[in-house]
Amino acid sequence: MIMKKIYALLLGVAVSGSALAQFAVGAQPMVKEKTTNFRTGAPAMVQGGEREVFYTNDFSDCSEWTISNAFADGFTQFYEDLNFQCGTGLAPSGAAPIPALESTTADNGFMMVDSDGAANEAEIENCYFQMVDPVDCSEHPFVSISFETQYYMWDGGSSDGNEFCWVEVSTDGTTWPDQTTTDDVAGRYELWPEMGTQDQVDNPTLFTFDITEAAGGAEQVWLRFRWRGTFGYAWMVDDLSFFDTPANDIRVDGYVSYTDQATATVATGLGFYEYGAIPTSQLTELVFAGRVRNIGSNPQANTQMEVTVNGDVVGTSAPDFTLEYGAFDTLRVQGYTPPATVGTYDVEYNFTSDEMDEDMTNNSASQSFEVTDGSYGRDDSNISGLYPADGTVDYTAATPFQFFGDATIYGVEVAIMDNSEAGTDLICHLLDFENLEIQESTEELVLLNPSINGNDGAEGSEINWYYFPFEDPIDVTAGEGWVAAFEHYGGNEVQIGESKYTPDQTAFVYGPFGANQAYDWYFTNEVPMVRFSLVEREVAVEEVTGVNFSLAQNMPNPANGITRINYELNSADAVTFEVRDITGKLVQTMNLGTQAAGKNTIELNVEQFEAGIYTYTLTVGGERLTNRMIVK
């Protein structure tokens, strides 16, 4: 997802226990509110179950729907390039179409809105498709709806948090939830509050919402499917049903965690980060947490959460807890510390009550983590995406860590993706926990062979980690916090993997990611796959050399004046140097004559170059090496 700017660089996460006191370094930074997985007003997806259906619409008659743009409701622009379609055989327009909806009755038609309009955060697109005729819910005091859908979000990475898919309810056909706010309001239900750039859901996805608060017992109920955003590719909907809400139905409500990472207070939980890879030296007591919601019409007595790890029950939440209709709460289980045995630990959360649940398909959730010999990671070893979208920019990806036991940091491990370019200078750092300032740096290494991590992000695929060693190992003490950071100077294409969701202010990047490509620190909601290594490993990257020489990245990069390019010859030889722009046009050439063996430097003045990406090539005895550089 897009990163919101940090206005105060404090990474504090308040935790309990004297050993962890140093983590409580201050209040969380105050930043622009972000749509996250943990908003209490966001209903979660449920599936399955017996239903008493009293209304259906399969979009076979498009005259039953009105399609429009809400420019009159506080929005000043009507976007003619919005692509609304209702019918069969639909395919989104634009450069990256997605497949048609594979709903139950797709053959007789479905609805789609597709936007390839201006990606301008100041010009929010706001469109909808709405029922022409209402549904009579007067004999249905408890009402739920379901529909099949899919969505592919693409906003260019510059406006995450501004893409919304909503279902809205009206009882008069004219009064709808406030169009000028994106806050949770009555009669509005959000589908994917945690969605980020390039995310795509299952095709189809079944959603169910209890809309009793807005529609229960009403004689007339209209629905509106509304999309608001700046560059979303496509949203498709089909097979809408209204049905009586079951009497007894509880569900997992969008949040489970084995560290209760959404709660950063001593009173309710440890509130520390979720670690997907935990070295034996950093094992600590876990706090299992899960949010449960009652979507049945009856109160649910003795609602509990049972937690198992690798099939063994490790605890059950407090008994005698009644969950009222429409209510939700977070249940917790404590007192479990993983054994110091290397391997994968599968966690299962199961929610029950005294009543027989009418839909058991939404009562459980699962997670997993690894206990390792020394790899300390926040990611879960699954690549969910590539970062950044443009791997030629200069950037730093930083992942904070808490230390629960004394340890020695030998280096940093990074999941570098296989489209990255060999011959690129790379470096990692140890940053302080509070200010993200460099304390130590690893050796600067040159990428030899990046073709080991695929770009498809397939879950469960083996990850290969590049190891960057510190010259001198770093001793850390229990209770301290440190940040592992990976830096790419820019020029060549270098992307790293990103992994599981993490809450705001818990993972960070530096680069040109703000408005007008402003360089600053930003937080990200996907964990950069950058780890600490608490054991010494073999170096997986090394300097790339030609037959008789090596070529380094220009420094500084980007450059706007003098930039220096180091190269090293194994033996004296004739050397030529040339620079080309992104079109391949030769913009400068130097015949350096015969140069001595050893380290040499070229000072290049790029002051007269136009801003953009260039390549520079060194030719020695017929052998060539090329790097990219950025002129700003």
Q: Are 129 and 84 in contact (CB under 8 A)?
A: yes
Residue 83: band (very low, low, confident or very high) from pLDDT cuts 50, 70, 90:
low
**Residue whose pair of structure tokens reads 């404090």 in the numeric block:** 10
pLDDT(6) > 50? no
**Mean pLDDT rounded to a whole number for the chain:** 80
pLDDT tens string 218-227: 999 999 998 8
At residue 450, the pLDDT reads: 54
Domains 53-244 and 250-372 share a fold: no
What's the whole-number mean pLDDT along residues 422-436? 88
Q: Are 369 and 378 in contact (CB under 8 A)?
A: no
Cβ burial, residue 374 (10 Å; 0-12/13-18/19+): buried
Give the distance from CA 347 to its chain's centroid. Answer: 22
Class of the domain covering 53-244:
mainly beta
- What is the CB neighbour count within 10 angstroms for residue 203? 17
Q: Are 280 and 407 in contact (CB under 8 A)?
A: no
Residue by residue, DSSP assigns 249-300 as -EEEEEEEESS-TT---TTT---PPP-SEEEGGG---EEEEEEEEE-SSS-B
Radius of gyration of the chain (CA): 28
Class of the domain covering 4-10+384-533:
mainly beta
Indicate the fold that domain 250-372 takes in CATH: Immunoglobulin-like (2.60.40)
> For a pLDDT cut of 70, what percent of the chain falls above it?
77
Which is nearest to 1 in space by CA: 259, 378, 277, 388? 388
More confident residue, 155 or 628: 628
Residue 303: band (very low, low, confident or very high) from pLDDT cuts 50, 70, 90:
very high
CA max distance for the chain: 93
Give, rounded to a whole angstrom, the gap between the first and last alpha carbons of the chain: 26
Class of the domain covering 549-631:
mainly beta
pLDDT tens string 39-78: 222 333 333 445 689 999 999 998 999 887 655 444 444 4
Report the alpha-carbon distance of residue 203 to residue 189 in Å, rounded: 20
At residue 18, the pLDDT reads: 26
Report the alpha-carbon distance of residue 367 to residue 347 in Å, rounded: 5
More confident residue, 577 or 541: 577
Which is nearest to 105 in space by CA: 85, 123, 88, 128? 88
pLDDT tens string 524-536: 888 999 999 999 9
pLDDT tens string 601-611: 999 999 989 88
Q: Point out the least confidently predicted range of 57-61, 153-157, 240-244.
A: 153-157
**Residue whose pair of structure tokens reads 């993706």 in the numeric block:** 417
> For a pLDDT cut of 90, what percent of the chain falls above it?
42
What's the whole-number mean pLDDT along residues 400-413? 95
Task: Dump strand ranges (E) for 23-179.
Answer: 53-57, 65-69, 82-87, 110-115, 125-131, 143-152, 164-170
pLDDT(487) > 70? yes
Residue 591: band (very low, low, confident or very high) from pLDDT cuts 50, 70, 90:
very high
What's the whole-number mean pLDDT along residues 19-40? 27
pLDDT(148) > 90? yes
At residue 465, the pLDDT reads: 87
Tell how strand 304-309 and strand 312-316 pair up: antiparallel
At residue 118, the pLDDT reads: 46
At residue 269, the pLDDT reads: 39
Report the alpha-carbon distance of residue 562 to residue 556 in Å, rounded: 8
Using CA atoms, how far residue 551 sits from 487, 530, 575, 598, 618, in Å, is 19, 26, 12, 12, 7
CA dihedral 39, 42, 46, 52 (to 10 degrees): 150
Q: Where are the domains positioned within the chain?
A: 4-10+384-533, 53-244, 250-372, 549-631
Most confident of 78-92, 374-388, 530-544, 614-628: 374-388
Q: Point out the least confidently predicted range of 203-217, 323-337, 418-432, 541-555.
A: 541-555
More confident residue, 424 or 285: 285
Report the alpha-carbon distance of residue 221 to residue 263 in Å, rounded: 38
Q: Point out the least confidently predicted range of 11-25, 53-67, 393-407, 586-600.
A: 11-25
At residue 41, the pLDDT reads: 28
Report the alpha-carbon distance of residue 53 to residue 532 in Å, rounded: 54
At residue 547, the pLDDT reads: 62
**215 DSSP assignment:** H
Residue 82: band (very low, low, confident or very high) from pLDDT cuts 50, 70, 90:
low
